C-alpha cells in the first residue's frame, strides 16, 4: 500500500477547494516538496531558463548572433531587469555603445594576442579576423532544487581560424533569499595543444552591463535609443532617473573605484522606486586576488585580476606589476565569483559579511 505524504495532503486541499467552487490564485497554495529553483532546458531555442519561486530570474543563452554565451537578462527578486537590453532586446532610453557587452559574461581581451572581449556581429570582417569566439558545446549537467539550481556547461575558446585554444567548463549555481538573488560562477579554463598566455589587458574578465538607471550620471551627451529602441540621430545628456554609484571594499566610491583593487565592489541605485544593489565578490583563491575593478560610469561592471600592469600604469603607481598568466598545454586555472542582486541599499558592513561567508565556503 502506498504511504501517505504531505504532498498528497496538499494536493487534496487543492482538489477539495476546486470541487467546492473556490477560485484559487495561481500558486496560492505551494505544494510541499516543490522545487523553488527550477531550470528549464530548451536547446532548440539555445537557452536554459532559471526560475525562482515561479518567477523568471535569468537565462543562460547561446544565440547565433552572440560571440559568447551569456546570462541574459538578470532580474531582482521583484522581477526588475537590471541588465541593459541593447542590442538583443533594446528598450527606449538605453545607451548604444559597446554592443559586445550583453548581460553577464566571462572573457578576456588578449589571449595569445587574440581579443575575446570585443567581438560581436557588428565588427567588420577585418576586425573580426583578429578576434576570438567562445562557443557553447554542451550541457554537462542540469538540476533543479528546493533551495538551489545547478547548471554545468562546456565551451570552447576558438581562434579566428577556428582552432580550439581553451576548453572551458563552467558550473553555475542559482539561488535566492528574501529580496535577494545569487549566481555563483566557477569557471575552469584548460589549455589544449599549445601554451596559453593571458597577456596583461584592462579588458576582462567577469562582468555585466547594467541598465541606464543604474549607470552613474553622465557628464557628456551620449547616444541613446529612441522610443522604438533604435539608436537616436544625435547624442543627448539625459540623467533623468539615473542613480548608480560604485563602491569598493576599500572605501572608494564613484569613478574612483575604476582601476583599483578590492575584495568586492558594489553598484547601488534605484529603478522605478526599487532600491537595488549589485555586488561582485572576488575569491581569495583566484589568480591576482584581490582583483582590479573595471567599473565604468556608463554601466560596465567587471572584475579583472589579470590586467595588473594596465591598471597600475594608468594610475601611475610606483610599482608596476605584470601578471601575464600562462598555462602550459593540458594545465588548468579556476576562477570563482559570486554575483548578488539585492532589492535594497546594502551597507558596506552588510556586504562585507556576505563576502566573508563566500570566502569561507571555498577555503
Work out the average pLDDT over 292-302: 97
Q: How confident is the model at residue 320 (pLDDT cuts 50, 70, 90)?
A: low
pLDDT of residue 314: 60
pLDDT of residue 16: 36
CB 223 within 8 A of CB 241: no
Work out the average pLDDT over 265-285: 97
Q: How confident is the model at residue 80 (pLDDT cuts 50, 70, 90)?
A: very high
**pTM for the structure as a whole:** 0.89
β-bridge partners, 174: 149, 183
Which DSSP letter does residue 212 get?
Answer: G
Between 157 and 310, residue with greater pLDDT: 157
Residue 285 reports pLDDT greater than 50: yes
Max mean pLDDT range (230-244, 249-263, 314-328) = 249-263
DSSP reduced 3-state for 228: coil
pLDDT in tens, 160-191: 999 999 999 999 999 999 999 999 999 999 99
pLDDT of residue 26: 32
- What distance in Å separates the CA atoms of residue 208 and residue 103, rounded to the nearest whole number? 5
In order of their start, the domains of the chain are 6-35 (no CATH), 36-361 (2.70.98)
pLDDT in tens, 30-48: 334 578 999 999 999 999 9
pLDDT of residue 15: 37
- Cell 560571440 maps to which residue? 67
Work out the average pLDDT over 14-26: 33
pLDDT of residue 233: 84
Q: Which three cell numbers stand for residue 105?
A: 559574461
Work out the average pLDDT over 7-12: 39
Work out the average pLDDT over 150-158: 98
pLDDT of residue 160: 97
Three-point CA angle 143, 178, 290, nearest 5°: 75
Q: Is the peptide bond before 48 cis (omega within 30 degrees of 0)?
A: no
Between 120 and 318, residue with greater pLDDT: 120
CB 198 within 8 A of CB 108: yes
pLDDT in tens, 84-105: 999 999 999 999 999 999 999 9
Q: What percent of the chain has pLDDT over 70?
A: 88
Q: What is the dihedral of CA 313, 318, 321, 322, to 10 degrees?
A: 40
Give how far the C-alpha of residue 316 lies from the chain's centroid of Cα atoms, to the nearest Å: 30
Residue 126: partners with Cβ closer than 8 Å, 6 or more residues away: none
- What distance in Å separates the CA atoms of residue 82 and residue 277, rounded to the nearest whole number? 10
- What distance in Å separates the CA atoms of residue 73 and residue 219, rounded to the nearest whole number? 27
Between 314 and 353, residue with greater pLDDT: 353
pLDDT of residue 232: 86
Residue 74 reports pLDDT greater than 80: yes
pLDDT of residue 228: 84
Residue 66 reports pLDDT greater than 70: yes
pLDDT of residue 64: 96
pLDDT in tens, 138-148: 999 999 999 99
Q: Which three cell numbers stand for residue 84?
A: 541593459
Amino acid at each position: 500500500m502506498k504511504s501517505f505524504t504531505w504532498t498528497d495532503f496538499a494536493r487534496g486541499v487543492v482538489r477539495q477547494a476546486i470541487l467546492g467552487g473556490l477560485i484559487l490564485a495561481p500558486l496560492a497554495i505551494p505544494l510541499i516538496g516543490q522545487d523553488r529553483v527550477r531550470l528549464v532546458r530548451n536547446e532548440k531555442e539555445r537557452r536554459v531558463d532559471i526560475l525562482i519561486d515561479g518567477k523568471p530570474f535569468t537565462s543562460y543563452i547561446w544565440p547565433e548572433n552572440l560571440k559568447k554565451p551569456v546570462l541574459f537578462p538578470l532580474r531582482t527578486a521583484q522581477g526588475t531587469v537590471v541588465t541593459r537590453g541593447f542590442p538583443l532586446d533594446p528598450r527606449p532610453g538605453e545607451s548604444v555603445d559597446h554592443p559586445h557587452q550583453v548581460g553577464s559574461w566571462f572573457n578576456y581581451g588578449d589571449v595569445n594576442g587574440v581579443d575575446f572581449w570585443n567581438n560581436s556581429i557588428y565588427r567588420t570582417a577585418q576586425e573580426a579576423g583578429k578576434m576570438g569566439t567562445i562557443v557553447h558545446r554542451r550541457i554537462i549537467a542540469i538540476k533543479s532544487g528546493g533551495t538551489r539550481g545547478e547548471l554545468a556547461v562546456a565551451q570552447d575558446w576558438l581562434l579566428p581560424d577556428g582552432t580550439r585554444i581553451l576548453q572551458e567548463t563552467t558550473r553555475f549555481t542559482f539561488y535566492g533569499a528574501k529580496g535577494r538573488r545569487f549566481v555563483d560562477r566557477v569557471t575552469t579554463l584548460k589549455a589544449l595543444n599549445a601554451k596559453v598566455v593571458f597577456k596583461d589587458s584592462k579588458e576582462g574578465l567577469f562582468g555585466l552591463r547594467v541598465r541606464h538607471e543604474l549607470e552613474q550620471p553622465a557628464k557628456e551627451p551620449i547616444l541613446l535609443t529612441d522610443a522604438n529602441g533604435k539608436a537616436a540621430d544625435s547624442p543627448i545628456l539625459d540623467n533623468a532617473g539615473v542613480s548608480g554609484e560604485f563602491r569598493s571594499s576599500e572605501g572608494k566610491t564613484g569613478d574612483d573605484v575604476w582601476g583599483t583593487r578590492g575584495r568586492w565592489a558594489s553598484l547601488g541605485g534605484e529603478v522605478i522606486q526599487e532600491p537595488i544593489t549589485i555586488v561582485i565578490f572576488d575569491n581569495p583563491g583566484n589568480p591576482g586576488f584581490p582583483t582590479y575593478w573595471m567599473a565604468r560610469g556608463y554601466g560596465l561592471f567587471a572584475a579583472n585580476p589579470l590586467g595588473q600592469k594596465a591598471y597600475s600604469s594608468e594610475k601611475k603607481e610606483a610599482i608596476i606589476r605584470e601578471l601575464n598568466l600562462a598555462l602550459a598545454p593540458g594545465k588548468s586555472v579556476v576562477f570563482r565569483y559570486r554575483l548578488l542582486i539585492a532589492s535594497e541599499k546594502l551597507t558596506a558592513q552588510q556586504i562585507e559579511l556576505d563576502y566573508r561567508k563566500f570566502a569561507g565556503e571555498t577555503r
